[in-house]
Structure 1
Amino acid sequence: MKMPLVNVHGPDDVRIDQVDIPEPGDDDVLVKVSLCGICGSDLGYIRMGGLGGTQPMPLGHELVGTVAALGENVGSLSAGDRVVINPMANANAIGNGGPEGGFAPFLQVRGVARDPRALLKVPDTLPSEHAALVEPLSVALHGCHKGQAKQGDRVVVFGAGPIGLSAIVALRYLGVSDIVAVDLSEFRLSIARQLGATTIQAQTDLAAALMEHQGRTDLMGMSVPNTDLYLETTGAGPVFEQITSLAKTGARVVVLGLHKAPVSFDLVNLLMRELVVTGSMAYDNEFSDVISMLSRGDIDVSPLISHCLPLSKFTEALALAGDISTAAKVLIDCQQ
């Protein structure tokens, strides 16, 4: 039998192809995909024409579904279990250059018998819309862990896209209450406010605005914002440069945004401010923490989701996902 699968065939060439429904091997699991979110990296892969490995390259890595069939060596799951997928477990690279992708009605997850962390159960009480956010929330929580975010910190999140908004949720989960989000999009800033952040329009005098919201401190006779931690989620070089010129002595800076071009970094700023600059890529063991956080329901993550469209309207969904004035996280219903 055949099914639709979203593939990248070349730069700006994305298609819904008809492919065979996979049959799981002895160590594998076949997942019936409920929802899959469009990630900023998906938009980047489409522009680039894929990652140069599997051609065409399947897309989709932020997903929730139900176990449809299991290989005989898989003992950790049962048919009907609701699961989220760790796309990078077992080097599967699902939707990230590997041979499988989540924008399809069914997905083969290889090697689950060897590494059960490839699929994690989610409670029946957790809505699928929220479970589909586990992967991006894990990215954000990992960045917060790398930045050693803790209660009492004053934190600024640059960028209110899906990862920046997810970072606000992760910070609140870690007990941080003083959170400022900076973005150009008033639509996305409105979501940041719903999630519990104070917001600043990026075109304002940021130094003055941050000192108003988070206080000021002295740096060699200059007044600078008293911000403890900066999370850079935009991938824009000028934003990183601005952060390093604003930061106080000992401030922590975590880079979560994908920078596609070299960035100018004045090492004098690093030196005299004693900055701690850290990169954060994907996640380690944050999936379980995020599932627990969502299951408790202490933080309403519904504002993160702006649209849900059927797989048959994937092209329209892509256009929405790229419009910062009207969209946050766009989900795809892979059964329609």
Structure 2
Amino acid sequence: MKQVNIHAPGRVELDEVPEPTLGPKDAIVRVAACGICGSDLGYISLGGVAGPTKEPMPIGHEFSGIVEAVGEEVTNIKVGARVVVNPMSNQNQIGNGSGEGAFAPLVLVPNAAGGDAVFEIPDDLSMELAALTEPLSVGLQGVDRASPVAGEKAVVFGAGPIGLCAVASLRARGIEDIISVDLSSHRLEIATELGARATFNPSKDDVWKGICEAHGTSPLFGAPMAGSDIYIEASGAGVVIEEVLANAKTGARLSVVGLHRAPVPVNFLLVMMKSMSIVGSMAYPDDWTEAIAILTRSDLSPMITHHFSLENFHDALAVAQSTDEGAKVMIIADASATGD
């Protein structure tokens, strides 16, 4: 079968590999759809999770599919079930440095006998939308780490897939007054479709003036601070954290979900003066049932802007690497498994 592997920094190939071998505690899933993640782009750039690897590294971890086979010790899932898979469960690391990756027709799910690896999805949830469960879980945890309260005001910096999932998650938590900030006008349009009330583009707009006008201000020693309650940092730009600390009101909360590879200076005097809370968020909880429930009652289809076959992975990659062209790029690994 064909499988996407990283061979060196900036080099990915669609290789011919053997089909996976089933173990007694494992499952094999026929992959219907798999999204290209920002992590995939980072791995490709580095040549691996943290740098070049000795052997080709499979990628692809945001996927849905149909259970093709289960080992004799797997009793919690059945052949033929429509599922999504937590790629990090039971220390599997599917598409994240292990020997498995979901940009392929079939993927091995090791240790599937555990109860937190494979989740069935409703029959009325399409396979492509189901493949958003993983990034939605990332966005949802980032939002929940900020302790949202219905009726509050929130700003999401970054309208890539995780930032867009944060917008959808805020809406799911009862927050309607949401601002989205990004350099891509196209992505800001998608944020609006997902529920953002206002959007600002730093290349065109005075972002903090716009935030203050939309969310009002709160005084700090006579100086007006932005009235937003929650900030979700999903851009990965260090300057955003500095600006939030400088402009946020007393008691505001900042959740950092974007990946920051370089150190970011933090003015803790401002944090103390404003009694601010700063939390980090990485990955997601073990239980994906809430994210699946959100997908069944909310329309996240505007996020999926492009669809490609596995054979056209390099074309898909080019789109995913261009932030202005779209949001979530979806690979249809095996059209027979979509059933849509």
Q: Same fold (TM over 0.5)?
A: yes
Q: How does 1:173-212 map to 2 (within 5 A)?
A: 173-197=172-196, 198-203=198-203, 204-212=205-213
**Cα distance in 2 between the residues matched to 1:285 and 1:74:** 18
User: What percent of counterpart residues are identical?
Assistant: 46
Amino acid at match of 1:189: L
Aligned partners of 1:105 and 1:334 also within 8 Å? yes
> TM (normalized to structure 2)?
0.95
Aligned partners of 2:307 and 2:330 also within 8 Å? yes
Please give the secondary structure, in 1, of the residue aligned with 2:34. Answer: strand
**Cα distance in 1 between the residues matched to 2:238 and 2:20:** 42
**Cα distance in 1 between the residues matched to 2:310 and 2:156:** 32
| 1:257 equivalenced with 2:258 (yes/no) | yes
| 1:132 equivalenced with 2:131 (yes/no) | yes
Match of 2:169 in 1: 170
**Cα distance in 2 between the residues matched to 1:149 and 1:102:** 33
| 1:104 equivalenced with 2:104 (yes/no) | yes
Aligned partners of 2:116 and 2:287 also within 8 Å? no
Aligned partners of 2:136 and 2:169 also within 8 Å? yes
Amino acid at match of 1:201: N
Count of equivalent residues: 331
Amino acid at match of 2:143: C
Match of 2:15 in 1: 17
Aligned partners of 1:36 and 1:333 also within 8 Å? yes
**Cα distance in 1 between the residues matched to 2:193 and 2:245:** 28
**Cα distance in 1 between the residues matched to 2:73 and 2:287:** 26
Aligned partners of 2:89 and 2:286 also within 8 Å? no
Runs of 4+ in 1 over 4 A off after TM superposition: none
Aligned partners of 1:187 and 1:324 also within 8 Å? no
Task: Pick closer, same or farther for the CA change 1:280–1:54 going to 2, 3 Å.
Answer: farther
Q: How does 1:1-336 map to 2 (within 5 A)?
A: 3-51=1-49, 52=51, 55-113=55-113, 115-197=114-196, 198-203=198-203, 204-295=205-296, 297=297, 299-335=298-334
Amino acid at match of 2:34: C
Aligned partners of 2:57 and 2:98 also within 8 Å? yes
Please give the secondary structure, in 1, of the residue aligned with 2:83. Answer: strand
> TM (normalized to structure 1)?
0.96
Q: Which moved more, 1:168-177 or 1:48-57?
A: 48-57
How far 1:55 moved relative to its partner? 2.6
Amino acid at match of 1:48: L
How far 1:116 moved relative to its partner? 2.2
Amino acid at match of 1:234: S
**Cα distance in 1 between the residues matched to 2:131 and 2:33:** 6
How far 1:59 moved relative to its partner? 0.3
Give 5+ residue unaligned stretches, structure 2.
336-340
Task: Pick closer, same or farther for the CA change 1:45–1:302 going to 2, 3 Å.
Answer: same
Give 5+ residue unaligned stretches, structure 1.
none
**Cα distance in 2 between the residues matched to 1:22 and 1:96:** 17
RMSD: 1.2
How far 1:293 moved relative to its partner? 1.8
**Cα distance in 2 between the residues matched to 1:326 and 1:293:** 26
Aligned partners of 2:156 and 2:231 also within 8 Å? yes
Please give the secondary structure, in 2, of the residue aligned with 1:116. Answer: coil
- Map Cα deviations across residues 275-295 of structure 1 (whole Å, 9 max, x no partner): 100000001145110111222
**Cα distance in 1 between the residues matched to 2:294 and 2:326:** 24
How far 1:54 moved relative to its partner? 7.1
**Cα distance in 2 between the residues matched to 1:201 and 1:327:** 16
How far 1:192 moved relative to its partner? 0.7
How far 1:239 moved relative to its partner? 1.4
